[in-house]
Amino acid sequence: MLANTETNSALLRVEELVLHYRTRAGTVQAVDGVSFSLDKGQTLAILGESGCGKSSLGRGLLRLLPRNVKTYSGSIFIGDLDTMTLGDRRYRRDVRWRRLALVPQAALNTLNPVLKVGYQVAEPLLVHRQVKKKSEALEKVRHLFNLLGLSTDFLNRYAFELSGGMRQRVAIAMALISDPDVVVLDEPTSALDLLTQANIMNVLKRIKKDMGMTFVFITHDVGTASELADVVAVMYAGEMVELAPAENFYTDPLHPYSERLMASVPTLREEKELQFIPGQPPSLINPPGGCRFAARCHKRLSQCTEKEPPMTIVDKGSRVKCWLYQ
């Protein structure tokens, strides 16, 4: 059901990705049939509230699965290669961190407290034998640090000596070091104060511009995402409910949920009365039949609760999962 035109030139193409977990309460359907594609140099922002499954999507992209995974299916194409077809060992050797990298949520604790920061950033290079000597690797790290605005002093420092913002940058460096095709960033700025947030976003923008890096930017912060996003996807209750180019989305969100999201974000110049969405998102265990947003939708139709709406292509390249656009 893909519509987008440049299917062959897409760097990252995901089709019907499903990720279900087994828990004692039941099966958590965290990611339920998500599809999108992304060109090189583009940034996809995945928006959604807590518990909508976007972090699972991020991890699912890198096959960083927990022990209680029940279903993991779909296709993830990087270029022409469907990485889902690869065995775990090959995936680890060839794909993870070589073609796809992750900057995880709450990066503050992602650094080993007893190893030097520089060494940790260099580790992927050494492990994947992308360099011949350690000094070469550290050279690359130095270069990257400069790019990211980190003092090269920090190569010999330890994690606890760095502030939050610096650690985030180190995490980004760690993701970039092995020259991946796509970097998935999971809430990279959520734990930071506004000033540092701004700094990090600047860094990302620079990298995007200078290195032409492709990002998948997962966040709940609509405003922050807007700085980087070329394409925006909205996730709700494990499903992708809207996928649109950024200009379209920010000026004219299609899905009722997206509308509400945009309405809740304060804008700099407009006078706006902020609105919120009443109710709670449904549980991912046994999600309701029909449209999963129906219970909270202000534009609900009768059929919304009965039948699940298909993904509809609307003009200007946007896609939306809503009966309103049938």
Partner 1 sequence: MSQTGTANAGMGRLALRDFGGTGLRLLRYSLVRAISIGITVVIAVYLTIIIANMGGQVDQIRKAEIQEQIGLSFMNNPAVRDMTPEERLALQEEMLQIEIERLGLNRPFLLRSFSYLWQGLTLNLGRAEQMSSDTGSRQVRLILLERLPATLLLWGTAQILVFVVAILVALWLSNHYGGILDRLIIALTPLSAAPAWFYGLFLILIFSAILGALPYGGMVAAPPPTDPKAYALSVLRHLILPVAAQFVSGIFILIYNWRTFFLIYSSEDYVEMAKAKGLSGHLVSRRYVLRPTLPYIITNFMLMLISVWMGGIILETVFNWPGLGKLLYQAIHLFDTPVIVGSTVLYAYLLAITVFFLDIIYALVDPRVRVGAESRQP
The binding site for partner 1 (CB under 8 A) comprises 62, 64, 67, 92-93, 96-98, 102, 104, 106, 108-115, 123-124, 127-128, 149-151, 153-154, 158, 160-167, 174, 199, 202
- As a residue count, the chain comes to 326
Nearer to partner 1, 5 or 109 (CB): 109
How far, in Å, CA of 276 to CA of 280, rounded? 11
The minimum distance between CB 32 and partner 1, in angstroms, equals 24
Find where tokens 């809503």 sit: 322
Nearer to partner 1, 153 or 252 (CB): 153
Nearer to partner 1, 9 or 202 (CB): 202
Closest to 65 in 3D by CA, of 15, 110, 124, 21: 21
The minimum distance between CB 153 and partner 1, in angstroms, equals 5
Nearer to partner 1, 92 or 300 (CB): 92
How far, in Å, CA of 230 to CA of 234, rounded? 13
Grouping H, G, I as helix, E, B as strand and the rest as coil, residue 151 is coil
The minimum distance between CB 127 and partner 1, in angstroms, equals 5
Beta strands per DSSP E along the chain: 12-22, 27-38, 43-47, 69-78, 81-82, 100-103, 182-186, 214-219, 231-236, 239-245, 311-314, 318-321
Nearer to partner 1, 97 or 257 (CB): 97
The minimum distance between CB 128 and partner 1, in angstroms, equals 6
Give the amino acid at 268: L
The minimum distance between CB 156 and partner 1, in angstroms, equals 10
The minimum distance between CB 249 and partner 1, in angstroms, equals 30
Question: Which residues face 37 on adjacent strands?
Answer: 13
> How many CB atoms lie under 10 A from the CB of residue 39?
16
Nearer to partner 1, 210 or 273 (CB): 210
Grouping H, G, I as helix, E, B as strand and the rest as coil, residue 163 is coil
Task: Find the DSSP H helices in the chain.
Answer: 54-61, 88-90, 117-127, 134-148, 164-176, 194-211, 222-228, 246-251, 256-263
Judge whether 39 and 9 are in contact, CB under 8 Å: yes
Nearer to partner 1, 67 or 132 (CB): 67
Question: How do strand 100-103 and strand 12-22 relate by DSSP bridges?
Answer: unpaired
The minimum distance between CB 302 and partner 1, in angstroms, equals 46
The minimum distance between CB 17 and partner 1, in angstroms, equals 18
Nearer to partner 1, 177 or 311 (CB): 177
How far, in Å, CA of 273 to CA of 290, rounded? 31
